[in-house]
Amino acid sequence: MAIETEFTPLASAFGGALIGISAVLLLYSNGRIAGISGMVKRLIAPAADGRPEQALAFIIGLIATPFVWTAVTGSAVAQTVSENIPLAAIAGLLVGFGAAFGGGCTSGHGVCGLSRFSKRSLVATIVFMAAAALTVFVSRHIVGGGA
Amino acid sequence: MSLLINLAAGLIFGLGLVISGMANPAKVLNFLDVAGHWDPSLAFVMAGAIAVTATGYRFVLRRSKPLLDDSFHLPGWSTIDRPLVIGSAIFGLGWGLFGFCPGPAITSLGLAATGTLVFVPAMLIGIAVAGLVGKSRS
């Protein structure tokens, strides 16, 4: 499953900047953190001031993205997703549970939290980055035999 | 108005994920694979995102309140507790197994890859279970 991908510093930095613009827009207008696991949580387990309709609108924007992308550029979104169904189910459960239990994911802790110099988010980001890198190392270089 | 802004913010966020390569699990896994086919691109995603967000947040948080709400909704506590560390470790494990974190997974729904169509419902269940566990603890 390990295929080589091209190093794209400019496109990646530009895409990152767009993520930043979205995060700033959201704090400026609604006073909210652009954390995706938090948005889903607001949607499926609405809290008193959770404003689930706002989270829903944001998530619809996310889901609309590949369609808008293809309409504008004429090309499909390039991605390679594993077809290992049990792995997808287990990984999905772990990602959902872990992000919600730990109070955030790559966006909430990694981008928004680090941007406001939150100590909790710094710890969370170091832990999930290290755990993810270790998981890839074990699955590709120990269990997978370098595959 | 606030719904339109959220819709636009979601779309801008999604386009950022697609353009940066973050929506491609193969690229994410190669970023995490320092000892193999290392692709450092995603460090540039984080750097670009944090540079813009940190700068923008500084100006926004000088205001007394957001444009369309009565107050800012920011996490107020700062203790490093067990759920934070355990949850983040479990999240990292799942992220490293498949290469999807929540944003890219949801953004990829319409592309209808089999793996995505299994991953996203499982992720929603995981989030719901964490909510129940959190409730029973407090």
Average pLDDT over residues A123-128: 98
| Domain contains A80 | yes
CB contact under 8 A, B92 and A127: yes
State residue A47's pLDDT score.
78
What is the pLDDT at residue B66?
97
Query: What digits encode the pLDDT tens for the residues B30-76?
Result: 999 999 989 999 999 999 999 999 999 999 999 999 999 999 999 88
DSSP state of B66: -
| Number of domains forming the structure of chain A | 1
Residues in chain A with CB shorter than 8 Å from the CB of B138 are none
| Chain B contact for A136 (CB, 8 A cutoff) | yes
Average of per-residue pLDDT across A129-147: 86
In a domain, A4, yes or no: no
pLDDT recorded at residue A146: 46
Q: What is the pLDDT of residues B87-124, one digit of tens each?
A: 999 999 999 999 999 999 999 999 999 999 999 999 99
pLDDT score, position A147: 43
Give the one of A13, A14, A91 whose C-beta lies nearest to B94's C-beta: A91
Q: Which residues of A touch B13 (CB under 8 A)?
A: 18-19, 22-23, 34, 58, 61-62, 107
Q: Among positive and negative, which fits the CA dihedral A84, A64, A15, A8?
A: positive
Domain hosting A21: range is 9-143
Q: Per-residue DSSP letters for A65-134?
A: HHHHHHHHHSSPPP------HHHHHHHHHHHHHHHHHTT--IIIIIIIIHHTT-HHHHHHHHHHHHHHHH
What is the model's pLDDT at position B31?
97
What ipTM does this complex have? Answer: 0.96
What SS3 state is found at B130? Answer: helix
pLDDT at site A99: 98
As a residue count, chain B comes to 138
- Give yes or no for a contact between A44 and B78, defined as CB atoms under 8 angstroms apart: no
Tell whether A129 lies on the interface with B, counting CB pairs under 8 A: yes
| Contacts with A, B 55-84, CB within 8 Å | 56-57, 60-61, 65-69, 71-75, 77-80, 83-84
Residue A144 has pLDDT above 80, yes or no: no
